[in-house]
Amino acid sequence: MSQDQTTVEDTEHHLELRNLRLDDYDDVRGLMDSVYAKVGGAWPYKNFKAQVTTFSEGQICIEDKGKVVAFAISVIVDYEQFGDKHSYDEITGDAYLTTHDPNGDVLYGVEVIVCPSYRGLRLGRRLYEARKDLCRNLNLKSIMAGGRIPNYANYSSQMSPYEYIEQVKSKDIYDPILTFQLANGFEVKQVMTAYLPEDEDSKGYATLLQWHNIYYEPNSPLLIGGKKSSARIGCIQWQMRYFNNVEELLQQVEYFVDALSDYGCDVALFPEFFNAPLMGLSPNESSIDAIWHLATYTDEILTSVSHLAVSYNITIIAGSMPVVEDDELYNVAYVCKRDGTIESQYKLHPTPHEKKDWIMKGGDSLKTFDTDFGKIGVLICYDVEFPELARVLSEQEMQILFVPFWTDTKNGYLRVRRCAQARAIENECYVAIAGSVGNLPKVDNVDIQYGQTAVFSPSDFAFPHDAIVSETTPNTEMTLIVDLDLDKLTKLQNEGSVRNYLDRRRDLYRVEWIGNR
């Protein structure tokens, strides 16, 4: 794999969240015909055209490599005109969205469909989160929708719709739609009759669902797709332990990804060489044979981690892993984005140990990564001890610097920590460091670790008094989850007690990247 971004063709998925276009109709029709074969199939093109042209901002889809695989249709309504006793055709204008009112107060969910073969990737959740963002950015009071209860047909002879809904709420019964909607923060306001009379699976009943926008304020600016003002980051303090095979390691990786995703994290940071326990599976005893053996697992691990990023809707910085290219060994960090793309950052400065004992080479490129929660950079362990690198990234408007590290002694750890703190202050950015702990007695030269994961901030009144946002207990496996206010960085640059970025004497000195020429 090259040091440049992996091509879309090389990845399993390349997901893009965007607004629907008229030329997406064939994909939309195929999805609707597949999902709604029992209730009439797809809308005619004239309905779809009316939806996209009437309220283009409200029609959202997820595209995978050029094909729409999930979509959501919405409309803004003045809800008082309809009230709680309405039918689908009434409130959607027979799906033409003739009821759309730009000055309305409620975002009404008209449709959500996910391709059946993609349902394990939680794309429905992603569409619901996009709808919530739309509701907030348009400053609407709530999202409301009529929800089918397609599993009710199996229980209609035993209980009323109300009893069925209560048992779904208590998780005694699973309903493929209602269970999902409840899990995404919607409340059942009431049961509606004859909402979709043709829906035999639901016996014509539907739930009236509501999600409240707690940020609703009159006269807020109308925004769509505005950049995030905060990011929730999760860091894993990884316990080194023996694994019998790569599957066991990936099971542990998924455990942490799942946990951080449940807490709504935008990113999960793993340590440098988090896969090092697999060195113990090398048939040879020498350290150089073990690290080259470890490199044979990298492609498999990377593919699996990228799939987890998509499935759990979280960007994963996969620590770092050894890679062999043209008979040379490199140490590479991978940014596996939740849209399915993969980017890489090579360690530029191997340590003296890595050069001597592993014959490791340094990479020759440095870049920032655009994510949906901000612009980030990645420096692997020793690289953070070279201030020029973070300065180059800072000039590219990096907001968060991620540092996966692996240190064996406390003094080695403190070098990484102190330098990371300095990078946060001098570049007016956040810095997150994540390391491993525990012992690997069967692995030569890497048998002990010392680590403490932490997140650092600039040092000014708007930030913690010691410029430490949060930190873990040393040498204990755990996670660290923090919310970072990105707007504070912009304010600091212009109104801080000191202003490192603005006050830099660019007339006297500069840091210039001369590589890649």
Instruction: Give yes or no: 337 in active site.
Output: no
Query: Which of 63, 111, 272, 477 is an active site residue?
Result: 272
Amino acid at 288: I
φ, ψ at 348 (rounded to 5°): -85, -30
Residue 219 has pLDDT above 80, yes or no: no
Average the pLDDT over 471-492 and give the result.
Answer: 94
3-state secondary structure 54-74: HCHHHCEEEEECCEEEEEEEE
Full set of structural domains in the chain with CATH: 15-212 (3.40.630.30), 230-495 (3.60.110.10)
For the stretch 303-327, pLDDT in tens is 999 999 999 999 999 999 999 999 9
Helix (H) or strand (E) holding 463: none
Query: Which of 347, 354, 428, 488 is an active site residue?
Result: 347
CB 407 within 8 A of CB 381: yes
| Bridging pattern class, strands 142-147 and 106-114 | parallel
Query: Which of 61, 235, 381, 419 is an active site residue?
Result: 381
Lowest mean pLDDT among 230-244, 276-290, 382-396, 476-490: 276-290
CB 200 within 8 A of CB 38: yes
* pLDDT value of position 119: 84
Residue 511 has pLDDT above 70, yes or no: yes
How far apart are alpha carbons 118 and 31 in whole angstroms? 11
Give the list of residues 6+ apart from residue 214 with CB closer than 8 angstroms, or none: none
333 bridge partner residues: 345
3-state secondary structure 449-460: ECCCCEEECCCC
Task: Tell me the C-alpha to C-alpha distance, in Å, between residue 40 and each of 37, 200, 287.
Answer: 6, 12, 64
**How many CB atoms are closer than 10 A to CB 204?**
16
Instruction: Give yes or no: 132 in active site.
Output: no
* pLDDT value of position 225: 47
Q: Show the tokens assigned to 221.
A: 């600016």
Instruction: Give yes or no: 347 in active site.
Output: yes
Residue 285 has pLDDT above 90, yes or no: no
For the stretch 66-99, pLDDT in tens is 999 999 999 999 898 888 888 888 899 889 998 8
Dihedral angle over CA of 342, 346, 351, 354, nearest 10? 70
Which parts of 73-140 fold into alpha helices (H)? 88-92, 123-137
Average pLDDT of the chain is: 91
Q: Residue holding tokens 């600016």?
A: 221
Average the pLDDT over 378-404 and give the result.
Answer: 96
Average the pLDDT over 127-147 and give the result.
Answer: 94
Give me the percent of the chain exceeding a pLDDT of 90: 70
For the chain, the distance separating the N- and C-terminal CA atoms, rounded to the nearest angstrom, is 21
